[in-house]
Amino acid sequence: MSQRKSSKRSDKSKDSDISSIHTSNEPTSPKPRSKKTPAAEYAERAGDGSPVSVLFATSSGDPNEIIIRSSDSYDFYINRFILKVGSPVLGSMMAQQPAPPPKTDEESPSPPSVMMLPETAPILDVLFTLLYPVEPPTWTSLEGFGPVIDAAIRYDMRGPIETLRQALICPRRVDDSILPSFAELDPLRVYAIARQAGLEPEAQISGNATKSISLRNSEMSAEVENMPTKYYRELISLRDEKGHWKETFKLFKAKGVSLKRTSTGLTGLGRMGSTRSMGPPSFMLRQKA
């Protein structure tokens, strides 16, 4: 009898579970959606994977804000004063912007003006994070580093440029650990990035660092593959001081990088591809909500 009662009870519990499932699937009236920027909607949907930090995703209500729109149509709400001080180039571009549209009514503030930039949202997010008085991101790899420093130089962002230069050659703090610098871990790639960005001291440090390592197991990054000829020759010359020029030449040949004749009569690298690693920037310690 006890077994029959328990089976009946289990059947009832199953029925109640099934009924609860059915009721949970009943259509409900849709909730009204609040108007949000594309960046805010993406951040809500993607969580930590959003290309826009919480700091820039929504308006703070400050009348001194401007909307910076990326090439992939994400909006960043940026303080005009911070942008003007941090980037003379963008400050000049803001001054040439048309006047914001008129108010819809007397009580509501004027909508911010919009300025378009050719960079994607992940690149702009790093730049603006470096401009603002918040903790800078800690790079976990060199993916996306080249496009970020290129943009910082293009817009004359001296503060971010200095921070990025230090990120190439200085040890990194991650939580309670101190990690070696990228110049120690991957001097060949740092050399290529620094040379193409015009960073002379960083190029010298990373170039000299290649003397003490073997490049046979080095990964051939896009920056190294497409290094201009003069920097390739300089690297061979640097390593020749230690008798490594043959190893360097064989490395490039083994990786599929061949020498070719250019229009100027000089030899160049024959590997096809981007001169920059175009993946999203790889860093930690983003601004959280």
Q: Is 77 a domain residue?
A: yes
Q: Is 68 a domain residue?
A: yes
Structurally, the chain folds into a number of domains equal to: 1
Parent domain of 67: 37-97+110-118
Q: Could you read off the pLDDT tens digit of each residue along the chain, which spans 289 residues?
A: 444 444 444 454 444 443 333 334 444 444 444 444 444 444 444 445 678 989 999 998 888 899 999 999 999 999 999 999 999 999 999 998 776 666 666 666 677 889 999 999 999 999 999 999 998 888 888 999 999 999 999 999 999 999 999 999 999 888 888 999 999 999 999 999 999 999 999 999 999 998 887 766 667 788 888 888 788 778 877 776 555 555 566 655 655 555 444 443 333 333 333 445 556 666 554 444 4
Displacement of CA 50 from its chain's centroid (Å)? 11
Distance between CA atoms of 168 and 14, rounded to whole angstroms?
Answer: 61
- Cβ–Cβ < 8 Å for 269, 257: yes
Q: Is 275 a domain residue?
A: no
Phi, psi of 78 (to 5 degrees): -120, 140
- Cβ–Cβ < 8 Å for 171, 207: no
- Cβ–Cβ < 8 Å for 227, 192: yes
Global pTM? Answer: 0.68
The tokens describing 76, both together, are: 């960043």
